[in-house]
């Protein structure tokens, strides 16, 4: 890592009231969360399984009216 990059990291850490070590650990945790676990087939299987189910649907205005009636707000 060159000095300019290290200075930028020090500045970022200082602006957040963190040590460089804390900032680096947090940056690594965030990067790890963003990385896919690589199991695309498992994710696709879950989507396909969900697609086999029937879920109640309706016109959005009808659904909002029903929700509001449930809260005692009339809705229509």
Render pLDDT for 24-74 as a digit per residue (tens, 0 to 9). Answer: 999 999 998 888 777 888 889 999 998 898 877 788 999 899 889 998 865
pLDDT at residue 75 in the model: 47
- Number of residues that make up the chain: 76
Burial 15-50 (b: 16+ CB within 10 A, else e): eeeeeeeebeeeeeeeeeeeeeeeeeeeeeeeeeee
pLDDT at residue 73 in the model: 67
Helix axis angle for 20-34 and 3-15, nearest 10°, is 90
- Which single residue is written with the structure tokens 């087939």? 41
Whether the pTM exceeds 0.75: the reply is no
Cβ–Cβ under 8 Å, residues 75 and 66:
yes
């Amino acid at each position: 890592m060159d000095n300019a990059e290290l200075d930028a990291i020090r500045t970022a850490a200082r602006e957040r009231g963190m040590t460089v070590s804390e900032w680096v650990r947090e940056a690594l945790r965030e990067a790890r969360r963003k990385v896919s676990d690589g199991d695309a087939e498992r994710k696709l299987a879950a989507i396909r399984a969900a697609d086999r189910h029937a879920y109640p649907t309706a016109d959005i205005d009808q659904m909002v009216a029903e929700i509001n009636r449930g809260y005692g707000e009339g809705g229509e």
